[in-house]
C-alpha cells in the first residue's frame, strides 16, 4: 500500500508486436540459464555427485561466468534490459535495499527452516506444535512490517528503521 514505483515504460495502447520487440530475450536466457546452472550445481553437489567432480565444478563455473556475462550484457549491450535502470541510476538506495533484503531473507529462511528443525529434534515431532512454537516470532515479523512500512512512507526515510529492525531480528535469530 505504501510502495509507489516509477511509472512503467509500457503503455496501455501499444501493440503486442511492439511490446515483444522490447523484451530482452537474450538477457532472460543468460540469467535463467546461469541461475539454473548454479542451482543444479549446488543441489547435486555432495549428493548426486561429489563436490570435486567435473560436472559440479562445470555447473558452478558456468553459472558464475554466466551471471558475470549477464551483468556486462545488461550494463553495456542492451539499451533497455531486464532490470529497470532508473532504480539504479538515481541513487544507491535500491542496490542497498536489495542487499539488505537478501540478508533479511536469509535470516527469515534460517528461522523457518533451522528453528523448525531444531524444535522438531528437541521438543516435538508434531507439526501443529512446531507451528505453534514458531507463531510468536512469525506473527511479530509479519505484523511488524505494517507499521514499519507506514513509518518509512510517512518519514520518507528507511535507513535507521531498517538497520534497527535487522539488528533486532539478527539478535533473536
Q: What is the pLDDT along the chain (173 residues), one digit of tens a residue?
A: 787 877 766 666 677 787 788 788 999 999 999 999 999 999 999 999 999 999 999 999 999 999 999 999 988 998 878 877 777 777 887 888 888 788 878 877 777 788 888 899 999 999 899 889 988 877 877 777 777 777 777 887 777 777 777 777 667 65
Whole-prediction pTM value?
A: 0.57
CA distance 9 to 67: 25
CA distance 95 to 123: 41
DSSP state, residue 153: H
Q: Beta partners for 148?
A: none
**How many angstroms separate the Cα of 26 from the Cα of each of 45, 68, 77, 79?**
28, 14, 11, 13
CA distance 124 to 62: 43
Amino acid at each position: 500500500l505504501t510502495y509507489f514505483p516509477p511509472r512503467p515504460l509500457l503503455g496501455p495502447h501499444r501493440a503486442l508486436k511492439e511490446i515483444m520487440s522490447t523484451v530482452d530475450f537474450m538477457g532472460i536466457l543468460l540469467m535463467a540459464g546461469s541461475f539454473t546452472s548454479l542451482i543444479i550445481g549446488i543441489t547435486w553437489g555432495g549428493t548426486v555427485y561429489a563436490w570435486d567432480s567435473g560436472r559440479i565444478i562445470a555447473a558452478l563455473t558456468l553459472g558464475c561466468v554466466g551471471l558475470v556475462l549477464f551483468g556486462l550484457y545488461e550494463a553495456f549491450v542492451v539499451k533497455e534490459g531486464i532490470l529497470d535502470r532508473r532504480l539504479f541510476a538515481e541513487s544507491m538506495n535500491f542496490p542497498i535495499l536489495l542487499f539488505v533484503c537478501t540478508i533479511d531473507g536469509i535470516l527469515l529462511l534460517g528461522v523457518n527452516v533451522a528453528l523448525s528443525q531444531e524444535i522438531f529434534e528437541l521438543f516435538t515431532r508434531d507439526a501443529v506444535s512446531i507451528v505453534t512454537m514458531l507463531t510468536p516470532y512469525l506473527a511479530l515479523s509479519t505484523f511488524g512490517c505494517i507499521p514499519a512500512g507506514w513509518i518509512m512512507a510517512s518519514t520518507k526515510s528507511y535507513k535507521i528503521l531498517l538497520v534497527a529492525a535487522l539488528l533486532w531480528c539478527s539478535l533473536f535469530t
